Structure 1
Amino acid sequence: MTYSPNYKVTDRNLALELVRVTEAAAISASAWTGRGMKNEADGAAVTAMRSAFDTVAIDGTVVIGEGEMDEAPMLYIGEKVGSGGPKMDIAVDPLEGTNLCAKDMPNAMTMVALAENGNFLHAPDIYMQKLVVGPGLPEDLIDLDAPIEKTLKDVAKAKGKDITNLIMCALERDRHQELIARAREAGARVVLLTDGDVAAAIAACIDDSRVDLYAGSGGAPEGVLAAAAVRCVGGQMQGRLMFEDQSQIDRAKEMAPGKDPTRKLGLHDMAAGDVLFSATGVTTGTLLRGVRFMGPTLARTHSIVMRSKSATIRFIEGRHDFSTKTWASPEGI
């Protein structure tokens, strides 16, 4: 098989292949919805996603994955995926919201982002400070270092809203207590999530969402995935890696030689070039509907796929006979 020198990451067929990957992971994970076993759900998603990647015509390297090689059995950082083709960087979260899936709560989903080689931030599995707003707003509207009160005021003015009608989304964590209190004191409303901050970041960029901005800290790998999605819809995002000790700083330096690991990251620092993003719902949430079973062999899925080059957002509903799928878990489905 030969590949055109003009092949681009934004190839339409490749976009559809990525949807197949996230669908496979979502269907397999959904067999564990509400069973209280998050590790089993995550394992099913990983196995299905890994198998589905074998049919994708890329020479992919996982740069955002399930952990280091000695920490994860599959889809670890540095693992090769795909059946051969152009060199691509892969960012994956086989199951964002493992607890959400285990408890059958909203917003569990599976995600993959793809970029040309070298265009994703190689981020260790630590926390990242994040700030996201949607498209159609003045450039450089947000600043990660600005007080949240100023950010809220600026976003409200740019959107032509009273600050009392502005909705900020954040993870419900002890570390966010001050952020939440200050946002509410400034007059904004705050929507709190138990898990799943990538969905929240995307929601801040979707026109018919209630969310105006996302703020706070969450996983750095999820930050890169969020950046890929925000790139595709033309939103704005800033981030900064948060380190607990020197070993984490040293690891970040190894992954990005010559870069200051403590620097403020712009959107293109995290996801540059042509980018594809796909996600499929496992449980129904603000962005996607969850997997729905229709008898012993059929299921429906609801996915989103986006391309940065065209800024096109597509919602795809799939109907599957998973008894024919090589990635289906016989003990789970």
Structure 2
Amino acid sequence: MTQPIAQPAQSTVPASKVLDRVLVLEMVRVTEAAAIGAAKLIGRGDEKAADAAAVEAMRAALNELYMDGTVVIGEGERDEAPMLFIGEKVGLAPGKGPKIDIALDPLEGTTITAKAGPNALAVLAVAEEGGLLNAPDVYMDKIAVGPGYPDGIIDLDRTVTENVTALAQAKGVAPSDIVACVLDRTRHDDIITELRGLGCGIVLISDGDVAGVIATTNEDTGIDIYVGQGGAPEGVLAAAALRCVGGQFKGRLVFRNDDERARAKKWGITDLNKQYDLTELAKGDCIFAATGVTDGSLLAGVKRKKSGVMTTESVVMRASSGTVRWVRGEHRAKV
């Protein structure tokens, strides 16, 4: 059974005239479609096929909506991605409907899905035009905590020890009582060693750092802080979720070569060393939606009943209202 996500006491984000209430549930339909598409490949060992199925389903669902949508976080640049590439236009009403920026990951956890592991999701976030950072497909250093802490409790310019110590003091516990979520990668060996030296508990995840960041907002997960390096697109998606339910997030783009630096400049990023705050990654009103592909701590995965009905579990959030809706769906074959 999934647990409730912590919510801010009161939202201070103004409601957008562009993001109509109808779009809140429409976004769930989009992530449901992607999750169902990917679910057919769970445990089949084919990451590319699972991702392609999710992409095709999400693209088709987006193109049924009355909007003038632009993908600002997608599957890659046009030459690298046949569908849902950065800059792609989606929606039924180009030039007529509301102008909406979209960040998406049709299948967050391709390896997870191929191996039938936990916490694979179909996710997206939408905002008014210009509301989401047009982050290139590079790495990002990230640190995140849930709601209820003083502003500035975390900072990427501090050491892991300094961040954990500040968080522990705010909670009124010892650093050894803090539990961190970290992607299980060799690049995080130093972070893991530093956390172990403090006596911290560590939840190592194989993939899916959007779910890892969101886990900091749910006390029942036991996770206090997320730290480490993951994809920049996933950072924007996670920031959009935290805008809706509260929390703090810091991110800094990581560039491994000149090609990645040139890619960033192409998308309008000039300060390559900037530390981004939550509201710089996802500003104004925004909507975040996710549907479980495989079972996880946030959502149940797609299930097929004997009758052929497919069941889904989703969550959708909106920053302006601070509302979190849990949606369980039953999907029958069209006749």
Tell me the amino acid that sits aligned with residue 243 of structure 2.
R
The equivalences for 1:1-333 within 5 A come to 8-84=17-93, 85-256=97-268, 259-321=270-332, 323-324=333-334
Q: 1: CA distance between counterparts of 2:175 and 2:297?
A: 22
1:119-171 deviation per Cα after TM superposition (whole angstroms, max 9, x unaligned): 11111111000000011111111111101111111111212333222110010
- 1:9–1:276 Cα contact (<8 Å) kept: no
1:59-114 deviation per Cα after TM superposition (whole angstroms, max 9, x unaligned): 10000000111111110001011112110100010000000000000010100100
1:145-202 deviation per Cα after TM superposition (whole angstroms, max 9, x unaligned): 1011111111112123332221100100000001011011112111100100000001
Tell me the amino acid that sits aligned with residue 25 of structure 1.
A
- 2:69–2:99 Cα contact (<8 Å) kept: yes
1:285-312 deviation per Cα after TM superposition (whole angstroms, max 9, x unaligned): 1111100111253011011101111111
Q: 1: CA distance between counterparts of 2:172 and 2:315?
A: 28
Q: 2: CA distance between counterparts of 1:164 and 1:304?
A: 32
* Normalised TM-score (structure 2): 0.92
Q: 2: CA distance between counterparts of 1:292 and 1:155?
A: 39
Paired residue secondary structure (2:156): coil
- 2:311–2:329 Cα contact (<8 Å) kept: yes
Q: 1: CA distance between counterparts of 2:307 and 2:89?
A: 34
Tell me the amino acid that sits aligned with residue 289 of structure 1.
A
CA RMSD of aligned residues (A): 1.4
1:159/1:7 Cα in 2 relative to 1: closer, same or farther (>3 Å)? closer
In the TM superposition, residue 10 of structure 1 has moved relative to its aligned partner by 4.2
- 2:16–2:285 Cα contact (<8 Å) kept: no
Paired residue secondary structure (1:145): coil
1:21-50 deviation per Cα after TM superposition (whole angstroms, max 9, x unaligned): 000000110000001011111010000001
Gaps in structure 1 of 5+ consecutive residues:
1-5, 326-333
Q: 2: CA distance between counterparts of 1:176 and 1:7?
A: 39
- Bigger shift: residues 239-248 or 90-99: 239-248
Tell me the amino acid that sits aligned with residue 311 of structure 2.
R
Gaps in structure 2 of 5+ consecutive residues:
1-14
Paired residue secondary structure (2:219): coil
In the TM superposition, residue 9 of structure 1 has moved relative to its aligned partner by 4.4
- 1:9–1:275 Cα contact (<8 Å) kept: no
Paired residue secondary structure (1:314): strand
Paired residue secondary structure (1:261): coil
Tell me the amino acid that sits aligned with residue 300 of structure 1.
T
* Normalised TM-score (structure 1): 0.93
Tell me the amino acid that sits aligned with residue 287 of structure 1.
L
